[in-house]
Amino acid sequence: MECRVCSGKLHGFADFGRQPLSDHFVLPGDPAPEFFFHLAVGVCEDCSMAQLLEEVPRERMFHESYPYLSSGSAVMREHFEGVAKRLLATELTGPDPFVVELGCNDGTMLKTVADAGVRHLGVEPSGGVADLAAARGVRVRKDFFEAGVAAAVRAADGPADVIYAANTLCHIPYVDSILSGADALLRPGGVLVFEDPYLGDIVTRRSFDQIYDEHFYFFCAASVRAMARRHGFELVDVERLPVHGGEVRYTLARRGARTPTPAVAALLAEEEARGLTELATLRDFAARVAANRDDLVALLTGLRDQGARVYGYGATAKSATVLNYCGIGPDLVAFVCDTTPAKQGRLTPGSHIPVRGPEAFADPYPDYALLLAWNHAEEIMAKETAFREAGGRWILYVPEVHLVGA
């Protein structure tokens, strides 16, 4: 297996077996066979990039009915408003600045830029969410961002001051084309800013469910710096973010354009000290994850045998990995409740657990709720205080299997 970034040799370290598309919620009775792929992760011995060993064709994942909405969580809405305000305050120069966002989703970030009267463009391949962005007054191009599209945008709109991407770059195996596109589109002092789940947090928290079809790369400062340098960029800033279970925001500028902040050297040193991208560290992570799986299956099986009622909370994309890797079906979790209308009335991918609306959660409350959206744990537990007051307990499986409540 070859690294998608540098063609170096990949070493596998974790294997989650046969997995479905994480956002393909199945209609009951649909005779069409589900698409499955082999979910396994490796690390490159040359550039240290962690990545999936099998790539799922992008059109299977990012299409008209892509169901994830950036605006779905109040915490995330606030987060993206903060991002927009900061980009507007610090990165825009000249009389007519231009901001581009890759994978703008429903326009949660760009809405604030649009409201400020700043020229902008969202590039978004998933048609349904792109239409939502357009309806909010955000200018959108329905496309996958790559070198050719970047050149066309440059020709039409001129150079960009900032290219921003949240939870998008790690989705894109052909990242070469993104970086050469960024090089074509950015003005000389412009920056590419992107934030994605951080390999360091995935290993520390054992958050193996960050690994699913859509997350192709698992970035860290060392691998991002190596990737940037291949395209004439330098990693000039990093910032740890508490969202989505731990992310890092990386800022790339052309080499020589900016002096890297001390935060870059600090994070690189921390990664080096803990051996983050070493095979032994990553294989140890995989062994701990396998132990979590055994614990979770033992707990749920025990609860079923006692006759306890267990529901799932949050039919997230990441839940596909835990449900399928652990072999959790409707015999262990009666249903999963979720606020996304497009998922309700359907079955979870591969594991075929019914998805119901949020009202089903309290009617009546279960004895236990498996928190599949653990990255929003605080927000959800604050909203569902009545569940705990009724004696309910949350089951979490990150960083280890544990109960919260009662």
Enumerate binding residues for Zn ion (CB under 5 A): 3, 5-6, 8, 44, 46-47, 49
Pick between residue 3 and residue 322 the one whose CB is nearest to Zn ion. Answer: 3
Q: What are phi and psi of 59, to 5 degrees?
A: -65, -20
Distance in angstroms between the alpha carbons of the first and the last residue of the chain: 48
Minimum CB separation of residue 199 from Zn ion in Å reads: 14
The tokens of 14 are what?
């974790």
Neighbours of 122 (CB within 10 A): 29
Pick between residue 8 and residue 405 the one whose CB is nearest to Zn ion. Answer: 8
Minimum CB separation of residue 9 from Zn ion in Å reads: 8
Pick between residue 1 and residue 135 the one whose CB is nearest to Zn ion. Answer: 1
Minimum CB separation of residue 10 from Zn ion in Å reads: 8
Pick between residue 153 and residue 224 the one whose CB is nearest to Zn ion. Answer: 224
| Those residues with Cβ within 8 angstroms of residue 307's Cβ, 6 or more apart along the chain or in another chain | none
Contact 345, 338 (CB under 8 A): no
Minimum CB separation of residue 253 from Zn ion in Å reads: 22
Pick between residue 12 and residue 329 the one whose CB is nearest to Zn ion. Answer: 12
Alpha carbon of residue 250 to chain centroid: 15
Contact 203, 9 (CB under 8 A): no
Contact 299, 402 (CB under 8 A): no
Pick between residue 3 and residue 169 the one whose CB is nearest to Zn ion. Answer: 3
CA distance 205 to 292: 11
CA distance 119 to 139: 9
Residue whose tokens read 């994830």:
68
The tokens of 303 are what?
């609860």
Cis amide leading into 262 (omega within 30): no
Pick between residue 46 and residue 54 the one whose CB is nearest to Zn ion. Answer: 46
Pick between residue 152 and residue 279 the one whose CB is nearest to Zn ion. Answer: 279
Minimum CB separation of residue 192 from Zn ion in Å reads: 19
Minimum CB separation of residue 49 from Zn ion in Å reads: 5
Pick between residue 49 and residue 147 the one whose CB is nearest to Zn ion. Answer: 49
CA distance 154 to 102: 14
Contact 334, 278 (CB under 8 A): no
Minimum CB separation of residue 200 from Zn ion in Å reads: 18
Neighbours of 69 (CB within 10 A): 17
Dihedral over Cα of 195, 200, 206, 212: its sign: positive
Minimum CB separation of residue 255 from Zn ion in Å reads: 19
Q: Which of 67, 72, 136, 142 is nearest to 102 (CA)?
A: 142
Pick between residue 45 and residue 295 the one whose CB is nearest to Zn ion. Answer: 45
Minimum CB separation of residue 223 from Zn ion in Å reads: 8
Contact 348, 338 (CB under 8 A): no
The tokens of 36 are what?
């499955």
Q: Which of 59, 104, 65 is nearest to 84 (CA)?
A: 104
Minimum CB separation of residue 6 from Zn ion in Å reads: 3
CA distance 115 to 373: 31
